[in-house]
Amino acid sequence: MTKPGKIILVIVLLLAIGIGAYALMRDDDFSTNNDTNGGSTSSSSSSENSSESSDVAIDAVTITYTDNGFTPATVTVSSGATITVTNDSSETVGFKSDPHPVHTENTELNLDDLGPGQTDTFTVSTVGSWGYHNHLNPDQTGTIVVE
């Protein structure tokens, strides 16, 4: 094969690879944007892994506190979203914004202590990534991303 023929072959191969990669990325974006479940996510199982995370901004979410910590540990919501915190543990939880112990990062997140079986709801409007923790056990943490 001649040198110009090899160059053309390399160019055609690179174009084919580039077009294929583009098509795969577009298909991935399409499926991600269509995987929403009507704008609401709720955690109903206390045995779920607390490292789960939601990547699609939603209007309402439930964060469940169990004896193992918060589930899901990270949520992404729209500004103005409603967040419900449910205590499914055997202990009281102090759901508070970071940093511990002053809770001043985003005071929208600060709730009264919740006893076992109690639930409280709040609305977030401040855009950003906000850490929270259990004031009574500050090693138990999570993140709320507000878009």
Encode pLDDT of 79-138 as tens digits: 999 999 999 999 999 999 999 999 988 999 999 999 999 999 999 999 999 999 999 999
What SS3 class is residue 33? helix
Whether the bond between 138 and the residue before it is cis, its omega within 30 degrees of 0, is: no
* Domain 40-146, CATH homologous superfamily name and number: Cupredoxins -  blue copper proteins (2.60.40.420)
Please check whether residue 61 is in contact with residue 77, taking contact to mean a CB–CB distance below 8 angstroms.
yes
Cα 114 from Cα 65, distance rounded (Å) = 10
Closest CA to 124 of 87, 74, 89, 83: 83
Closest CA to 58 of 76, 74, 44, 43: 76
pTM for the predicted model, two decimal places: 0.61
Annotated domain spans of the chain? 1-35, 40-146
Q: Each residue of 30-75: pLDDT tens digit?
A: 443 444 333 333 333 333 333 344 455 688 999 999 999 999 999 9
Cα 119 from Cα 61, distance rounded (Å) = 13
